[in-house]
Amino acid sequence: MWIYEKKLQYPVRVSTCNPKLAKYLIEQYGGADGELAAALRYLNQRYTIPDKVVGLLTDIGTEEFAHLEMIATMVYKLTKDATPDQLKEAGLDTHYVNHDNALFYHNAGGVPFTAAYIQAKGDPIADLYEDIAAEEKARATYQWIINMSDDPDLNDGLRFLREREIIHAQRFREAVELLKEERDRKKVF
């Protein structure tokens, strides 16, 4: 199904070691509105969605894994040279005690990822509205991380991710309209 290219979807650069920014970014790694939850949600929903929009969920779900890889790279680069004291100061001390510098799926508050984050109702229109909301929440979170960041190199990648969330929401809105049109079409038997 996939062909993996050994490069990121968009270049990831950081200006300096900054564990505090890494902590914020972990929200998009393992949080309820993060990239892992989105990828799993869309790839799961495609089994109960009409054929007209299956490809859209597959495409966006796959792209969310590319975004997850970008977030992991950002977190790694922001923490790879951090001392235990810097991690503690950034509020990552419990993460360090449990995982050293390894990435782990949890949100910025340290709450582990859970399958409860993945929504699937089985009603195509309801699921697509859930997907629109997920993309808008991710967009907002990226903006708030950008607002907290003083790293212009990191912000470049974050702006790319924020813009992709906007495009995904637009595509899901188009899919809703397509399915509504089909649902409302007069049926003659």
35 a known binding residue? Answer: yes
- Residue 11 in any domain: the answer is no
CB 141 within 8 A of CB 148: no
93 a known binding residue? Answer: no
The C-alpha atoms of residue 169 and residue 106 are separated, in whole angstroms, by 24
CB 115 within 8 A of CB 37: no
Render 53-110 in DSSP notation, one character per residue.
Answer: HHHHHHHHHHHHHHHHHHHHHHHHHHHTT--HHHHHHTT-HHHHHHHTT---SB-TT-
168 a known binding residue? Answer: yes
- Residue 124 in any domain: the answer is yes
**Residue 99: domain span:** 19-188
Two tokens at 118?
């993945």
Mean pLDDT by 10 residues, the chain (189 residues): 83 96 97 96 95 96 97 97 96 93 92 93 95 97 97 98 98 96 75
163 a known binding residue? Answer: no
Domain with residue 145: its CATH number is: 1.20.1260.10
- Residue 87 in any domain: the answer is yes
pTM for the full predicted model: 0.93
- Residue 102 in any domain: the answer is yes
Query: What pLDDT digit, counting tens, does each position of 44-80 carry?
Result: 999 999 999 999 999 999 999 999 999 999 999 999 9
- Residue 141 in any domain: the answer is yes
64 a known binding residue? Answer: yes
- Number of independent structural domains in the chain: 1
Two tokens at 56?
């859209």
